[in-house]
Structure 1
Amino acid sequence: MGGGEKRVVFVTVGTTCFDALVKVVDSEEVKRALLQKGYTHLVIQMGRGTYVPAEASGNSDLQVEHFTFSPSIADYIREASLVISHAGSGSIFETLRLGKPLIVVVNEDLMDNHQSELADELAERNHLFCAHPQTLLETIEAMDLNVLQPYTPGEAKPVVALINKFLGFPVS
């Protein structure tokens, strides 16, 4: 890809420790796959993890930076051409609301698999791609962003009206 267009991949683990995700996006294979897809920058939010990504990439064309926390990741998501995220619902829905392509990586070390269920359901509806740390490379290589469907949040008013009716409150 010529023209010098900046294409950023933003990786977020939220407030958790998800070293498996940080390690795999820091691997030369994943960085090479991102370069081949035309991305120019990799920004990694590492959370509480102990693994620190390499300062420089063997692929000097991909610029890599990392940080632990930020008061808000919304600006990073807005700037991103692709977001790779843990399966936290806040990160997922913030990314989808901003209309950014998303790969959700499920943390298999977590006890509760509700995050996996959410990611699987949204992937089945073609709103995002779902991966595990060991399948992220293959997901990046195979992804076709044209198959993704925009996410439209549900309408809450009918649910509120039903709850109000059930509780005996006036229904507007």
Structure 2
Amino acid sequence: MKTVFVTVGTTSFDELIGSITSSAAVQALKSRGYDRLVLQVGRGSVLPGPEVCPHITLEAFRFKDSIAEDIKGADLVISHAGAGSCLEALGAGKPLLVVINDKLMNNHQLELARQLHMDSHLLYCTCSTLTDTLRTMDLSALLPFLPGQPKNFANFLDKALGVQ
């Protein structure tokens, strides 16, 4: 099964969960050959059941001790823009689509996603552009994020957040 894993980390991002389970987004995933959708919904108020997406196998959970196996088993990871979630997916060598929560004030997530996108490590969008991004994305254009360089990532975060 070709699997998409969606994570919101330990936060709440109901808009992402609603967007990815919309009929248009599911159709876009199906047209690209994905037939399984695994959602980690965190503290969100929504925990969708399989009936929400009748044309794709859907699994949903709130938290696990580790999502490493879910990431490892995914053909595509869709994540909120938290640095930890991004680093974990990129470190696992998985294609990553980051969905920015544009409802947050003073959102540093956009800077992180934008820089990693400019370096061709990931794609990013917002909930309102998610379906179009799923339809048009070219995952073959992504470059691997080389593991073992945590200092480079820390330096980038410091720069992006204005600490350096």
Normalised by the length of structure 2, the TM-score is: 0.87
Identity, % of aligned positions? 45
CA-atom RMSD in angstroms:
1.8
SS in structure 2 opposite 1:104?
strand
Residue 137 of structure 2, aligned match among 143, 149, 156? 143
Correspondence for 1:108 = 102
**What is the identity, as a one-letter code, of the residue corresponding to 1:51?**
V
Larger radius of gyration: 1
**What is the identity, as a one-letter code, of the residue corresponding to 2:43?**
R
**What is the identity, as a one-letter code, of the residue corresponding to 2:7?**
T
Correspondence for 2:68 = 74
Correspondence for 1:121 = 115
Gap runs ≥5 in structure 1: 1-5, 160-172
> Closer, same or farther in 2 for the Cα pair 1:58/1:151, shift >3 Å?
closer
Contact 1:32 1:59 in 2 (8 A): no
Gap runs ≥5 in structure 2: 155-164
C-alpha distance in 2, partners of 1:155/1:69? 25
Matched, 1:18 2:9: no
**What is the identity, as a one-letter code, of the residue corresponding to 1:49?**
G
SS in structure 1 opposite 2:98?
strand
Matched, 1:99 2:93: yes
Residue 47 of structure 2, aligned match among 52, 55, 80? 52
Normalised by the length of structure 1, the TM-score is: 0.83
Q: How many residues align?
A: 152
SS in structure 2 opposite 1:141?
helix
